[in-house]
Chains A and B, each alone.
Chain A
């Protein structure tokens, strides 16, 4: 069944998967479901290919969200430490598909999707700022929220909640000096 003929959400999801298998072949990604979420797990090497396929032939043209998670110390976790997720939407049918890619210490690297969605620029910068995950071929990979001189990645689970004293690393102004 082609995506144009599908009517129910379940049928549409199956149609998307069929088309992906037809274009990319089997074995590129694995799937999992939670309620009405369809999640595609893909290795880093095939990530860009999968996203490009989802964008153009499949019509998922909106990158709604790009984020990451640190699973350090997560109960029962056997896969990689970090997971970057991309939430894509097809505006015509309001469908949603979630692509997840796992990366690991010591140097987590993911290809940048700025060539596909220019709006991913600041999202990837935020993920880099908070988790230290580098995005290859990103045009301007700098910190976006934390100050330039900040060295840690605060949303990593091994970073203490209260920081390592950065918040108090300022000169003290007194009446006499100011």
Chain B
């Protein structure tokens, strides 16, 4: 019988079995030596996180620090992200280093759209993250208003170690959160959907579309100053 054939194969020593029904006990699968079992997502994420190709969008002094990270003293090659490419088609990590003015923002968005999936974005320095000291008519107050950002780096400009730390954080996120065919990070996706829904509500009842203090300086929001949600003021 077929069942008996299995029983006698030697893989499952079950000499005491008298029944026709063969129940294989769990935990006895034998794996050949030098073999690792894992999910394909984990392998793909592991490959991706150690071969990030940055797109250096360097517009100001943060770009100098970015160059220092690429040079031998700090050496971003230790983390597998040394292949700076100046064509967005070949990159999967956008590093926005420096202030972005309103004339540059459409260019930045176009470059972001030109990058192939999956792609990630690091907002480097105070200016890229919040406008920094340049609170004027021409400077965008944080690129995250118009781009999805995965990791923010504080500092003016940040130390090279901070950039390496941000890269390691991003690697952690990719390993934890990425998927084979996924675009970007699902965790961030959910937060973005939440923010989008909140923005559709009338002003005053949801997350502010603008920073709350802007109306103090003659800049009026349409619909009056918004009340900040708990999440936004935290």
Contact = CB atoms under 8 A, between A and B. Distances in A.
**Are both chains from one complex?**
yes
Interface of A: 146-147, 154, 159-176, 178
Contact of A154 (B137, B145, B146): B137
A29 to B, nearest CB: 36
Contacts of B148: 173-175, 178
Contacts of B147: 173
Contacts of A162: 135-137, 214, 217-219
Contacts of B189: 175-176
Contacts of B193: 176
Given A162-B135, A174-B196, A178-B112, A167 B146 contact: no
Contacts of A172: 145-146
Interface stretch (B33-41, B45-53, B100-108): B100-108
A167 B140 contact: yes
A12 to B, nearest CB: 42
B137 A167 contact: yes
Contacts of B113: 173, 178
Contacts of A171: 109, 146
Contacts of B217: 160-162
Given A175-B189, A178-B113, A164 B219 contact: yes
A3 B189 CA distance: 75
A161 B188 contact: no
Contacts of B207: none
B146 A175 contact: no
A170 B106 contact: yes
Q: Which of A147, A162, A174, A175 has the most CB of B within 10 A?
A: A175
B109 A173 contact: yes
Q: Which 4 pairs across A and B sit closest by C-beta, in order of nearness?
A: A163-B137, A160-B218, A162-B219, A167-B102
Given A147-B103, A154-B137, A163-B137, A168 B145 contact: yes
B183 A163 contact: no
A167 B183 contact: no
B192 A174 contact: yes
6 contacts: A161-B136, A162-B135, A164-B137, A173-B113, A176-B192, A178-B112
Interface in B66-111: 101-103, 105-106, 109
A168 B192 contact: no
A173 B137 contact: no
Contacts of B183: 175
B6 interface: no
Given A171-B109, A171-B146, A154 B196 contact: no
Contacts of A154: 137-138
Contact of A170 (B136, B146, B184, B222): B146
Contact of A167 (B138, B184, B192, B196): B138
B137 A147 contact: no
Interface in B98-141: 101-103, 105-106, 109, 112-113, 135-141
Contact of B137 (A160, A175, A176, A178): A160
A32 to B, nearest CB: 33
Contact of B105 (A146, A170, A174, A175): A170
B210 interface: yes
Nearest to B142: A168
A147 B106 CA distance: 11
Interface string B195-234: 0100000000000001000100111001000000000000
Given A161-B217, A167-B137, 19 more contacts: A147-B102, A154-B137, A154-B138, A160-B137, A160-B218, A162-B214, A163-B219, A166-B102, A167-B101, A168-B140, A170-B109, A171-B146, A173-B113, A175-B148, A175-B183, A175-B185, A175-B188, A176-B192, A178-B113
